[in-house]
Structure 1
């Protein structure tokens, strides 16, 4: 679905604090903005990082804060009008400030899923689907987050390139 600009959550803890100050939980906020409680919970816990501009505005209005206090618009230089599943832009993860990876030697550096998205330019949803099917780069759960060894991702990507050119 093209043409629906997305807004990214600035900081999930700020969203949770604003909900608390306004006296809302996921259920009451969801009812007020016309979304499911799961959708709101995903925004609060970071599992979902973006939503439609209208949804962001509705959440901010119900919480009594400016929209830009909780959300930011991704830079227009990327492919921001390509969306997946209605609310998640393909390149949202690459527009968010990257999270720091655990320190290791460069060849042993571990990447978070968002950094794998940035490195490969493959949408997060595609990487998650590939993992579900047992394909794609070797991702693993550590501390409740998907991670990958940088060298393994680069090896997988090189193999993918070789198979595409043969």
Structure 2
């Protein structure tokens, strides 16, 4: 039996992304976010989530992706506290699709020849679907969200 890993599939704009299920604490509906004065651009603000102050990060801005204009299905993926050094952090995504189980043969690792700044944060590309049944394969970009959050100090210094 082939080994598999579970990931949360979500959407930013028209593209599909994934993150490790182990770092997602919960997924909540979008709620009012209180902006913080003089906060970095990627830090949208804070929310009170069941009595806990949670920092909300705009993942799209952090990754340098264009805005979508549609906030209809936006969700907040609240991360496990150990991802962000013990603080409560949530990331805004356009939509969450599902938790999917990915087999090793569906994962294509990124080679070191890619020099894009985002390639540091891409773990792999996941190929879903089967060309044998006439369907086109869907490509899902598997992000290393833990590394994205871990590099926030560096990101802030370059803005």
Q: Which structure shows the higher helix fraction?
A: 1
Query: Who wins on radius of gyration, i.e. which is larger?
Result: 1
Determine if the TM-score, normalized by the shorter chain, exceeds 0.5. no
Q: Which structure shows the higher strand fraction?
A: 2
TM-score, length-scaled by structure 2: 0.26
Structure ranking higher on relative contact order (CA contacts 8 Å, 6+ apart): 2
